[in-house]
Amino acid sequence: MSTRASGVELWSTWKRTHEVIRALVVNEVTAAAGLSEPDMTVLVRLHEAGGTLRQSELGAAMGWDRTRLSHQVTRMEKRGLLTRRRGDGVTVALAAAGRETIQAVLPTLGDAVRRHFLDKLGESDLDALRVILDRLTREGS
Amino acid sequence: MSTRASGVELWSTWKRTHEVIRALVVNEVTAAAGLSEPDMTVLVRLHEAGGTLRQSELGAAMGWDRTRLSHQVTRMEKRGLLTRRRGDGVTVALAAAGRETIQAVLPTLGDAVRRHFLDKLGESDLDALRVILDRLTREGS
DNA sequence: GAAGATTGATCGATCAATCTTT
DNA sequence: AAAGATTGATCGATCAATCTTC
């Protein structure tokens, strides 16, 4: 009962904090690489997956809906960052330019994430945050 | 334990979790109220401030830049949700329709936030999260 | 026909340039 | 001149409708 009144306030703080930190990191990376945030998100996720994913799995991993991802992949395909291949759904892969780009940008991203995010938290905070994020994405509303 | 190379991974998880939870909450509220997420964010913040704020303070509280807020306020003013008044900067206030709307929607928002966010965390998680969000927004990089 | 994907239209976000007020 | 605000253009996100493949 005691957290009821402050619930929306914590929600607002969570959103605002995410927005501010995100902007700090994204501004550094996009300034350095000529990539938008969604470009980065897609490249990072594909890279983590080894370079190839089914489009539906890529979308699920990022929490994006189909339309948004379809438009985004279309744009990135036109710029030569990705390739699309049909057959039992669609498979998306890093093209050569995409592979080079993500490898060039990852150190910048890692550095920005460390300075604006990780370094502001202690080890116990990071552990606690992992637990919190895990609980938030568990099923059962 | 060590968090070595997983910094960007935690960053990705934080972003994805935020995106998913945000979508769950926002979809419920917008379906019920005919308001977009930015509409809601502005109305909630103004309501929390008593109904009136200077535009620059409103933007700072949400982490928005001037341009974004100016466009948003223009749209909401046209729909009769807000009023704008000049003089030593700009002062934004809830119009009658905005006041009625936010009061009608707050219970729905509170309910959605509780089910998709607060109820998934324990008391100690909530305390830890407050500390984490506070540290992330402290100055000094 | 159901799940996955695409398209076109509309609305929101961002960038660069400009205007206003102190 | 500097801070705050606005405007117009462009790019990204969202919605509804449609198409494809199994």
Section B95-108 average pLDDT: 93
A62 touches chain B (CB under 8 A): yes
Lookup result for tokens 């936030």? B113
Nearest Cα residue to A83 out of A91, A72, A40: A91
Per-residue model confidence as pLDDT tens digits over A12-68: 889 889 988 988 898 888 888 888 999 999 999 999 999 999 999 999 998 899 999
DSSP string, chain A: -TTSTTHHHHHHHHHHHHHHHHHHHHHHHHHHHS--HHHHHHHHHHHHTTSEEEHHHHHHHHT--HHHHHHHHHHHHHTTSEEEEESSSEEEEE-HHHHHHHHHHHHHHHHHHHHHTGGGS-HHHHHHHHHHHHHHTSS--
Per-residue model confidence as pLDDT tens digits over B23-66: 889 888 888 888 899 999 999 999 999 999 999 999 999 889 99
Reply yes or no on whether the pLDDT at B137 is more than 90. no
What pLDDT, on the 0 to 100 scale, is given for residue A6? 62
What pLDDT, on the 0 to 100 scale, is given for residue B140? 57
Of B1, B16, B116, the CB nearest to A141: B116
Give A 86-105 residues with CB within 8 A of chain B.
none
Provide, rounded to the nearest whole percent, the portion of chain B with pLDDT above 70: 94
Helix (H, G, I), strand (E, B) or coil at B54: strand
Contact B105, B32 (CB under 8 A): yes
Q: Which residues of B spanning 44-73 put their CB closer than 7 angstroms to strand D?
A: 54-56, 59, 66-67, 69-71, 73
Q: Which pair of tokens denotes residue A46?
A: 């594909």
Q: Which pair of tokens denotes residue A22?
A: 């995100």
Section B87-104 average pLDDT: 92
Please give the C-alpha separations between residue A93 and each of A65, B9, B80, B83, in angstroms, as whole numbers: 19, 20, 47, 49
Per-residue model confidence as pLDDT tens digits over B110-125: 999 999 999 999 999 9
Comparing A110-114, B15-19, B92-96, B110-114, the range with the smallest average pLDDT is B15-19
pTM for this predicted structure: 0.83
Instruction: Say how far apart CA B130 and CA B128 lie, in whole Å.
Output: 5
Higher model confidence: residue B87 or residue B81? B81
Half-sphere exposure of B132 (CA within 13 A, CB side): 25
Helix (H, G, I), strand (E, B) or coil at B91: strand
Q: Which residues of A touch B64 (CB under 8 A)?
A: 19
Reply yes or no on whether the pLDDT at B6 is more than 80. no
Q: Do A10 and B130 make contact, defined as CB atoms within 8 angstroms?
A: yes
What pLDDT, on the 0 to 100 scale, is given for residue B141? 43
Nearest Cα residue to B11 out of A94, A138, A119, A9: A119
